[in-house]
Each structure stands twice: as structure tokens, then as C-alpha cells.
Amino acid sequence: MTLADLTSLEVKASPPAKLLVERVSKWFRTPRASVQALDNINLAVAEGEFICLVGPSGCGKSTLLDIVAGLTMPDEGRVLADDQVVAGPGRHRLVMFQDPALFPWLTVFGNVMFGLKRNPDLTRKQRRETAAYHLKLVGLEKFSKAYVHELSGGMKQRVALARSLAPDPRVLLMDEPLAALDALTREQLYLDIQDIWARRRKTIILVTQCARGHMSRRPRVCDVAEPGPFARRVQDRSATAARRQ
């Protein structure tokens, strides 16, 4: 693929989306217990913004991400994507999970192609060019014919990232996708994700337990929950820092 081909693909990228979380609350109920995971959460995400949701395990970060994705419905409140109520999953909001969930019987190239084959608007040539472009974007163009068992943990997550970006979502939701990696690989991939964001300008929400090590491009960091069993608020660190100055 030539440099002109890559440039053409970048120009055709869908514009990023804006998100609005309004007074969202969520309970999980069983016959034995009722647990409130989120309580009156409000969050505004601008078009093309990169946000890190930081908080301890069990505070409701992943639940909030699932609600934004449309995988879970809130008990109260609503989520808007480009002023439209999120009522279910949508192709413009894709989730990258902690487990890369790659298909072991497919090559690296085949995994990235998987979602593209379900887009009837693309020709076979466009699908292949798009897959090749995103493998180059994550630095795996030389491993396109490799199988999953031949990859390291970091390489598998790069494939998962390429597969998530290839269908050209307007919002990328990342649920601690690098938590299982070693420290050096994790730090490098955080930097790579920020470089990709700088080039593609997708709206990204990254869930993590620690903000250290991925602040070089200054994504907006929001703390989920004050100490307690569930999220009572989402606090914007940048706004807090500004008030202290």
C-alpha cells in the first residue's frame, strides 16, 4: 500500500462523536441482595476527546462504559451520542475489552477483516486496503499472516485495537484492555494508543485503575467514585487542578 493510499483512508475516516451522560444510575438486583453500581452520574465528552476514567476495582467504571456502549441500560438517566439517545449497541460505538478475544483459526489479517466483511458498502479491495492500513497503524504489517498462538500478549492487543478501529467507529470504548500486560508493554501501548488518537482523532474513553504512565498527551482524567462501594460522582481532575491554582 502506498503513502497516497494511507492518506486517502485517513481522509475518509468518520468524524468523532460527542457524548453526554445525564443523571445515570444503575442497580444490580438479585433475590438476596441489591447493589447500586452508579448513582446520578453526569459526564460530557467533546468530539474527538480522549478521556481516562480512573478508579478502584468495583467502583462502576466498566458498568458506565457498558451503558455508554448500549450493552446495558441505565435504571435512571440517559446517554446521548450526537444528541441521539443510546438505546442499544451501535456500529459507531465499539468496545475493546481486557481480553483481546481473537479468533484462533484466523490469521492476524483475517481477524482485522472479520468485521469489515459484514459491511456491504465496502468492496473486497476496500476491505483489504482498510485492514492493511490498520495493521500498519499498530505496527503489525509484517505479521499479517501469523496466527494468534504465534503472538505475544502485547501483539494480540494490537490486533484487537486494529480490529476495533478498522470499521471506523466514531467512539472507541476501552475497558482496561492493557491490564493483563507486563508494565513495559503496557506503558508502550498506552503511548501507541495516544499516538493513534492524535492521528485519527476518535472520541476515546479509556477505563483504567491507574493514570500513571499515559499522561504524555494529556488526556482528560476523571476519577470515578469517592471512597465507597459504588460510584457517586465522576470528578474531572483537570477542573479540580484548575480550581486549586
Q: Which fold has domain 3-244?
A: Rossmann fold (3.40.50)
Q: Which amino acid is at 4?
A: A
* Phi (first) and psi of residue 94, to 5 degrees: -110, 150
- What tens-digit pLDDT sequence spans the chain (245 residues)? 443 455 455 535 666 778 999 999 999 988 888 888 888 889 999 898 988 888 777 788 889 999 999 999 999 999 999 989 999 998 889 999 888 999 999 999 999 999 898 888 889 999 999 999 999 988 899 999 999 999 998 899 999 999 999 998 889 999 988 777 777 877 778 888 888 888 877 899 988 876 554 444 555 767 665 544 444 455 555 554 444 44
CB contact set of 235 (below 8 Å; sequence gap of 6+):
222, 223, 226
Per-residue model confidence (pLDDT) at position 230: 45
d(CA 150, CA 100): 14
Place of cell 500478549: 153
Would you list the domain boundaries of the chain?
Answer: 3-244
Q: 206 is written with which cell numbers?
A: 479509556
